[in-house]
Amino acid sequence: MQVDYLIIGQGISGTWLSYSLQKANKSFLVIDNNKPNSASRIAAGIINPVTGRRIIKTWMIDELLAYLVPAYKQLGSELGITAIEQKSLIDFHPTPQMKIAFNERVSESAEFLFQPKNQQLYYDTFNYDFGFGEVTPCYVVNLKGIIPAWRNKLLDKTQLLEEDFKTDELKNTDKGVQYKNITAEKIIFCDGISSAQSPFFKNLPFALNKGETILIESADIPSTHIFKKGMMLTSIENGLHWIGSNYLWDFTDDKPSEQFRNQTELLLNNWLKVPFKIIEHKASIRPANIERRPFVGFHPVYKNIGILNGMGTKGCSLAPFFANQLTEHIISAKEILPEADIKRFTKVLMR
Ligand SMILES: Cc1cc2nc3c(=O)[nH]c(=O)nc-3n(C[C@H](O)[C@H](O)[C@H](O)COP(=O)(O)OP(=O)(O)OC[C@H]3O[C@@H](n4cnc5c(N)ncnc54)[C@H](O)[C@@H]3O)c2cc1C
CA of 213 to the centre of ligand 1 (A): 14
- In Å, how far are 293, 294, 310, 321 from 287, measured between CA atoms? 11, 10, 5, 17
DSSP string, 265-334: HHHHHHHBSS--EEEEEEEEEE--BTT---EEEE-SSSTTEEEEE--TT-HHHHHHHHHHHHHHHHHH-P
- Classify residue 34 as left (phi > 0), alpha (psi -120 to 50) or beta: left
How far from chain centre, in Å, is Cα 6? 22
**Does the Cβ of 13 fall within 6 Å of ligand 1?**
yes
Per-residue pLDDT reduced to its tens digit, 10-41: 999 999 999 999 999 999 999 999 999 999 99
Per-residue pLDDT reduced to its tens digit, 114-170: 999 999 999 999 999 999 999 999 999 999 999 999 999 999 999 999 999 999 999
Residue type for 166, please?
K
- Residue 14 CA: nearest ligand 1 atom is 25
Cα gap 31→119, rounded to integer Å: 50
Which residues have a Cβ under 8 Å from the Cβ of 173 and sit 6 or more positions away? Answer: none
Residue type for 125, please?
T
What does the pLDDT read at residue 263? 97
Pocket probe for ligand 1: among 191, 226, 280, 284, the residue whose CB has the most ligand atoms within 8 Å is 191
Residue nearest to atom 21 of ligand 1 (CA): 40
CA of 115 to the centre of ligand 1 (A): 34
Segment 302-307 shows an average pLDDT of: 97
Number of Cβ within a 10 Å radius of residue 21: 23
Residue nearest to atom 35 of ligand 1 (CA): 9
Bridge partner residues of 46 (DSSP): 140
CA of 99 to the centre of ligand 1 (A): 33
Q: What percent of the chain has pLDDT over 70?
A: 100
CA of 109 to the centre of ligand 1 (A): 33
CA of 152 to the centre of ligand 1 (A): 18
CA of 307 to the centre of ligand 1 (A): 14
pTM metric for this prediction: 0.98
- In Å, how far are 34, 99, 204, 297, 323 from 167, measured between CA atoms? 17, 51, 17, 19, 22
**Is the CB of residue 182 less than 8 Å from the CB of residue 169?**
no
Segment 82-97 shows an average pLDDT of: 96
Pocket probe for ligand 1: among 6, 7, 12, the residue whose CB has the most ligand atoms within 8 Å is 12
Query: 70 in helix, strand or coil?
Result: helix
Burial track 278-300 (b if 16+ CB lie within 10 A, e otherwise): eeebbbbbbbbbebebbbbbbbe
**Does the Cβ of 313 fall within 6 Å of ligand 1?**
yes
- In Å, how far are 41, 57, 63, 154, 211 from 313, measured between CA atoms? 13, 15, 18, 26, 10
Segment 72-78 shows an average pLDDT of: 98
**Does the Cβ of 244 fall within 6 Å of ligand 1?**
yes
Burial track 217-231 (b if 16+ CB lie within 10 A, e otherwise): ebeebebebbbbbeb
What does the pLDDT read at residue 237? 85
